[in-house]
Amino acid sequence: MPAPLSLPGVLLIFIIIFHVEALKPHLLGRRSVRTSSSQQRNLFYKTFYFDQQIDHFGFLENGTFKQRYLVNDQHWHKAQGPILFYTGNEGDITWFCNNTGFMWDIAEELGAMLVFAEHRYYGESMPFGNESYSYLNYLTSEQALADFAVLIKSLKKTLPRAQNSPVIAIGGSYGGMLAAWLRMKYPNVVIGALASSAPIWQFTDLVPCGDFYKIVTQDFANSGINCSKNIRRSWTAINNLFSTAEGLQWLSKEFGLCSPLKEEDLFNFKGWLQETWSNLAMVDYPYEANFLQPLPRWPIKVVCMHLQFDTDVPDKQLLHGISQAVRVYYNYTGSAVCLNVSETATGSLGIMGWFYQSCTEMVMPQCTDGVQDMFEPMAWNFQAYSDECYALFGVRPREDWADTVYGGKNISSHSNIIFSNGGLDPWRSGGVTESLSDSLIAILIPEGSHHLDLRFNNEYDPQSVLLTRKLEVMYFKKWIKQNTSAQ
């Protein structure tokens, strides 16, 4: 899930505007796939394009677009092996394909075909080509779920000997929400789902809006002495430095910024830092990785090494530490010439599309109080949020819709869904962290960050994630067996 979502209320919107203005020309170009350790494994897949309805829920628009999907069937046991179907989220599907090593690791054991389906309006799956951002009306999770359902039905019909292959949906983050919802809404199409780090309850009135940033804060508090305390102190220090021309100049230089800060950049600058800390909490993996950015192992520990001084050091000393800490995220490889406060490195995520989704269905309230978290207090203000969305896209978010259409807390009648969450992952705040029945299973990975279980096995993996993956495979086998005996 892109980080802008993790900013509270009105601030979020400022960042959105900033992003949209700043990133508009670069968005499409940012979708290139980066080299990462997982990619070095040389994953082989074939790329296909499916003629997908632009509008599943209306018939006057009868056009189709090319939905991209990737297939690997080298381990598939025809006629009986399952299909593991990744429900693509808000970005280029090749990126998720390369960052979902779990599926590649278990394909042989399960005799499974792997399919990675791209979400409409991201990557190459653009309903109106280069004009797609001008016609965003068909960008909804319901349309995306219908895409997945129609694609799966078609694959099972057209692939030789796939008719009886049970399909399991797998996804992480927003893709995990989609995996869970696909099982809820189309249980005829998938026999079960693994929803990893899927904050399906991060909607209005379902969970406290402050939990996300509380978890971010805990991650920093637990990673070094005074770490979260010094970050909490930094906002006032920044305010102080922003109040003089000399301070602005010093800050710009200290942070090695590409463009010098101006007085009016205060919100953006603090928002950029807040987003950086939140992103770090999401990707606090136990080994060197490159999900959003190339990072060292346990990156927050490395960040906090720069922030372990006393909590009464002068502003400039404090912010020197902050600038060193920020570079862990933005310049671990040492290749950054300067830092750009309008970019927070969100990998191959499609920011523009996600902004629109956040402004329509995916209203995920966030707030901070500065006490239980290390950020400046910011209440959740739906009206301001809605007004900004209207100014940006001409749409108003529907605050209650996700709860109505996806069941909110009332989902116990569904079945065969695993909800895995990482103890370190701030998105755990909106996740299902307690089992709801004997087939709606919650698994907590205490040392895990954002969908760690979906990544390749790694020598540094904590025992908890290794066991989680085993448990997940066990449930897959159970569902497959149930399905076979029901046929």
**Interface positions with its own copies (CB under 8 A):** 53, 56-62, 136-138, 140, 142-143, 146, 149-150, 153, 185-189, 359-361, 394-398, 400-401, 403-405, 407-408, 410-416, 486
Instruction: Write down the least CB distance from residue 56 to its own copies, Å.
Output: 7
Closest approach, Cβ 62 to its own copies, in A, equals 6
450 in active site: yes
Catalytic residue chosen out of the listed positions 315, 425, 453, 461: 425
End-to-end CA distance of the chain: 37
Complex with its own copies: residue 61 or 343, whichever CB lies closer: 61
CB 485, min distance to its own copies, A: 13
For the purposes of burial, counting CB atoms within 10 Å of the CB of 284, is it exposed (0-12), middle (13-18) or buried (19 or more)?
A: buried
Please confirm, yes or no, whether 205 is among the known catalytic residues: no
With respect to its own copies, which residue has the nearer C-beta, 143 or 323? 143
What Cα–Cα distance (Å) separates residue 434 from each residue in 78, 171, 431, 441? Answer: 36, 19, 9, 7
Using the minimum distance from each CB to its own copies, give the nearer residue, 266 or 395. Answer: 395
Q: Is 55 a catalytic residue?
A: no
Report the half-sphere exposure of 434 (CA within 13 A, side-chain side).
1
Minimum Å gap between C-beta 146 and its own copies is 7
Cβ-based nearer residue to its own copies, 80 or 240: 80
Give whichever of 316 and 409 is closer to its own copies, judged by the CB atom.
Answer: 409
Beta carbon of residue 138, minimum distance to its own copies (angstroms, whole number) = 7
Active site residues: 173, 425, 450
